[in-house]
Structure 1
């Protein structure tokens, strides 16, 4: 428990743990137009504290963490749970799928802005020390980010063990600075009274724009849910209530006390909590903490992409494992470099954490909104809770999410468009890939030759059979694999044992080994093998075939050949998708990772046969 809690502090809470760097600064920036008066200060601090209690502690730590999909969390796992809860025949099935897809797409937008704003806000501390550093803030930030992405291929197995202890030091520093300033102005403790937050919210013209900034204090709430599968709900809850929330609360109260005693520090209160002597040490500690927070976000993006590939909503990509012990530690080169390009563009384009803060909220609140909606369907149709209770429980959080999302929507033309555009691009890519695969599926199904009937006619006058085992990969709706037809047509032979292999991706995180394979005898030494994977399972066909031994079917690796049909997609006018979407799908298909490589089939045992498919 202690080890998992320490690891959770380092990985799960990096994002929300670094939010004190910029939240209070943005609350009283010119952008949001909140005058720094005593009443407003108490209202803002109270609003942040009670937001942490209601949104993070109650919604995520208490309620959402209960919605685990066989131990896994995150928007993908929650979407799968919601779909399973309503059933495939429900009128809500397609709507919930699209909703979950859009929530996942927004996560990618959030994943770009988090590294940019976190590292940039840390390096901006140099400006507080001396304005002479101002021209170097963006270049230094870019160097840090480029180095961070450049070493991703090495994984976090070596340095990951230091994340927890370093973040404990970070949270201890937050708490200590908070206590130091609270002791100087103890009257700030009155902000613990929610009445101040309610009074502040009563001033609608000030409070509504303030919601766009207060959400910065809650970024990272989705991360604690997404990381549940790595640590379990108990360590995450324990870390929040024992370490993270007390440290955050004390620091926000401390920054409030500092502003109460010295309003001139509003330009960047975080770096002025202990005086000029502490700025450089705080910049160093903040830089390390924000790199850790960014690492967690980058790893989360890799994990999300792998799940999306497994669910068939993104094309196959090269996935490298960076740890021999931890299967969840992966590196996806294409995602890594594309994300770096967009992060660099964000840093250069926006130029400061204040400008990025305007872009931050929409993606975060949009994902939070989707989570609340999906949770309703899980607790109503999956857990069978009373309808009124479901409406009250999720409706309360939904109202808050809508208020936060609406306030952030006001910032659309001030940078909020950036994560929305990223989300729309990712959403378009995902729905285009899924729709394209459906069109391919329909085409193959239309021209499919029923397998069992074909085998019956084939063995009326059987071809010459040769030594060894042939494994033919076939889709769920495929009839006779094209590779088999070509082999019979050109080589006039059939292996002495023939296996037809079909892969099924189920909308659950894990399929246990006992349920991984199903073997059906088709007669004449021909077999149908069905392999089932969850979206967190690692596709490995040779390993799956070894499991067939429990069904009486054994394989000799050096005597087994794999026949794969390489599909060349051709866009044709008429029905299907718009021409530009078909062009996008064709381009993604051509650049998708090779099936044999993705499924870890030895390259020297693979025979590929081309096949053209029109959509």
Structure 2
């Protein structure tokens, strides 16, 4: 999918009220499904034995009211949503903001590329402000860099774990309601009490699990349709569900206990806190489930817009949820003493409508899981782009909104783990404790990173940043402690998931970082290739050679190893490296950095491709054409800016990839089948003349008309580029094999072992996806770390 970034930016700037309303409608089926289905299991996850009086229900509702008001409304809707990173949200979006405003990133970054593009970017006050003490402290101590990365990974792990636990608890809760509904219908056909009890036990025991598993499989199977289609399909279900439960909530407030509205007063909370005991802490661990899905409001930001998410929550979701919880608490307080009253279905007075509720809750529970699943895809996409997650396929499901992604490999892993959790626990109470711990941990991470964003990015006073941290952090810390109290009642499941995903992320980041450092330390200078290699009898063969590596200066170790064993390289050599930037997107006119390596006579160039964590630039079919066109433009400009573009290593220029605007090489579309595309590789390796049928590139280049403004030397060099392209293209990739040095500690050996396993079982590097085997050369190198 080719995405037009300029049109996308214009669409964002010209967002109309109609488009906002459309996104608000879609967000109901994606972002808010989790918040809207929380009433299914908030009170149901409470052990009825822990409630001693009806007055405690008033106190718990007071906690629900103020928790929803403070966290989703005040924190996320009013404050955190403003901290988007060019439309993207989540813990890694906050981390990328900090990396841009302070030198705290651990991701390998090309300093020369950053230096060359600074003058191209807009200057904002945040980039030219004086160094603050907080920024200096963060940049000075390396430990703070690791701490920030750990916080970002921790928040990502919590979101991913939540994407596994939420479908399990939501669907299982709805399936339990279906089991109770079937029980009430079936017992009418039996007269014997013993038979009724037997049938009731069978239905309650064997119906929920199969029903929940079936719904989970269907839910994850639908994910490939994309956020837009799922949003349109799920939004009517959420709207119907909300009107249904809020309508009966209003009925119960009026007919069951209208005094519940007095519990809005914070006095009821203070009464509860005044008599706090371990039993009360356990109750609060269930109350925190009422804000489950709040983090998705920020993590799913890339799929929608700030305005649409905020309008939907403030005008619709917030009042409806409060009315629903008020009605449920009023019903429980009136009929206190029965275990069944804690189920939401029991608060519906009409028994026939309870059966309708059972069916509707099944659909609503599936929708409720969508928010965290979609957020999980966004987080995985961001982590992968910043080298913190193994290579997986990412599918962009929208041409207008780049944040709408689908990750097939991760989707099936989510489904398998969610099914395992559902079958393994088959208990809503234990799943609720694990989910509560994931929710509070993720929110606390966001609060910590957000407080730094307020100080460093928004340039507010340290006092404001500290107040934000203490106010929201203390509330979330209280809820976090309540979840830890229930560690052995199900919360331990989250720790296992956290260790699994943290091991994967940490190992991949460690291996990638070590491999990058090994390449930097073992690279050879350009003089080795231009001066020393002719003494080895190195020959130049026709064609263009693309050498892909992470090294942005010098010659990568694997290529020098190749030259030593096969003393030949191409007539035109292009060293290509990809550099991730801690921003969502890099515009096309700032994506390619072109420079010359060595003297002009050697025709060796370097191209650095910059991309954001939401870009998808490495698997496009016309990628090679963009690089060649940019090099042609570089050659044409070089004569006018010789001092800035001298042959000294590291001097580069930012060039766009739009070939239509270039005045050096004129593209011509062509798609003629040929057998000569891999000729340069055959010359290089001196293999047999047997050819494989391939297709010549669709784009050929020609020189512009003769002009007195273009020197003959420039035209000659451009013609040599065209001739080399016609002779064929070969691609060099380094195939690394990591080994731990003898005597390394267990932790280091374990990380490298996990990285090697992930590297072998993950997808091939994106740059190799569209390269035919006839033109691809992989050079193996052993990296001893």
Does 2:743 match 1:574? Answer: yes
For 1:285 and 1:271, how far apart are their aligned partners in 2?
15
Structure 1 pair 5–462 and aligned structure 2 pair: CA distance change class (3 A):
farther
Does 2:207 match 1:133? Answer: no
Does the 8 Å CA contact 1:86/1:377 hold for their aligned counterparts?
no
For 1:257 and 1:445, how far apart are their aligned partners in 2?
66
Please state how far the C-alpha of 1:530 moved relative to its aligned partner.
Answer: 0.5
For 2:268 and 2:363, how far apart are their aligned partners in 1?
35
Q: Deviations over 1:166-211 (max 9, x none)?
A: 2222222222121222221333222222222222222212543322
Aligned to 1:451: 526
For 2:90 and 2:349, how far apart are their aligned partners in 1?
38
Aligned to 1:46: 62
Equivalent residue for 1:531, pick from 609, 614, 624:
609
Does the 8 Å CA contact 2:302/2:401 hold for their aligned counterparts?
no
- Could you tell me the TM-score, scaled by structure 1's length? 0.93
Does the 8 Å CA contact 2:26/2:235 hold for their aligned counterparts?
yes
How many residue pairs align between the two structures? 612
Please state how far the C-alpha of 1:428 moved relative to its aligned partner.
Answer: 2.0
Please state how far the C-alpha of 1:492 moved relative to its aligned partner.
Answer: 4.1
Does the 8 Å CA contact 1:45/1:253 hold for their aligned counterparts?
yes
Tell which structure's C-alpha radius of gyration is larger.
Answer: 2
Please state how far the C-alpha of 1:262 moved relative to its aligned partner.
Answer: 2.4
Aligned to 1:210: 283
For 2:61 and 2:488, how far apart are their aligned partners in 1?
27
Does the 8 Å CA contact 1:83/1:96 hold for their aligned counterparts?
no
Aligned to 2:135: none
For 1:597 and 1:544, how far apart are their aligned partners in 2?
9
Does the 8 Å CA contact 1:18/1:293 hold for their aligned counterparts?
yes
Say which SS state the counterpart of residue 380 (structure 1) adopts: helix
- Could you tell me the TM-score, scaled by structure 2's length? 0.74
Aligned to 1:22: 41
Please state how far the C-alpha of 1:75 moved relative to its aligned partner.
Answer: 1.1
Aligned to 1:70: 86
Aligned to 2:310: 237
Say which SS state the counterpart of residue 250 (structure 2) adopts: helix
Aligned to 1:94: 146
Does the 8 Å CA contact 2:618/2:766 hold for their aligned counterparts?
no
Please state how far the C-alpha of 1:314 moved relative to its aligned partner.
Answer: 1.5
Please state how far the C-alpha of 1:514 moved relative to its aligned partner.
Answer: 1.7
Please state how far the C-alpha of 1:584 moved relative to its aligned partner.
Answer: 1.4
Q: Deviations over 1:62-117 (max 9, x none)?
A: 11111111221101111222333442334222211112111212222212110100
Equivalent residue for 1:585, pick from 747, 755, 776:
755
Following superposition of structure 1 onto structure 2, how do residues 170-189 of structure 1 map, counting pairs within 5 Å? 170-184=241-255, 185-189=257-261
Equivalent residue for 1:258, pick from 297, 316, 331:
331
Aligned to 2:168: 116
Does the 8 Å CA contact 1:597/1:603 hold for their aligned counterparts?
no
Structure 1 pair 600–369 and aligned structure 2 pair: CA distance change class (3 A):
farther
Please state how far the C-alpha of 1:245 moved relative to its aligned partner.
Answer: 0.7
Following superposition of structure 1 onto structure 2, how do residues 395-406 of structure 1 map, counting pairs within 5 Å? 395-406=470-481
Please say which of residues 7-16 and 82-91 is displaced more in the overlay: 82-91
Does 2:95 match 1:79? Answer: yes
Please say which of residues 424-433 and 110-119 is displaced more in the overlay: 424-433
Q: Deviations over 1:98-140 (max 9, x none)?
A: 1211121222221211010010011111233223521211111
Q: Deviations over 1:420-460 (max 9, x none)?
A: 22112211221122122222223333322123552344468
Please state how far the C-alpha of 1:377 moved relative to its aligned partner.
Answer: 0.9
For 2:697 and 2:402, how far apart are their aligned partners in 1?
24
Please state how far the C-alpha of 1:238 moved relative to its aligned partner.
Answer: 0.4
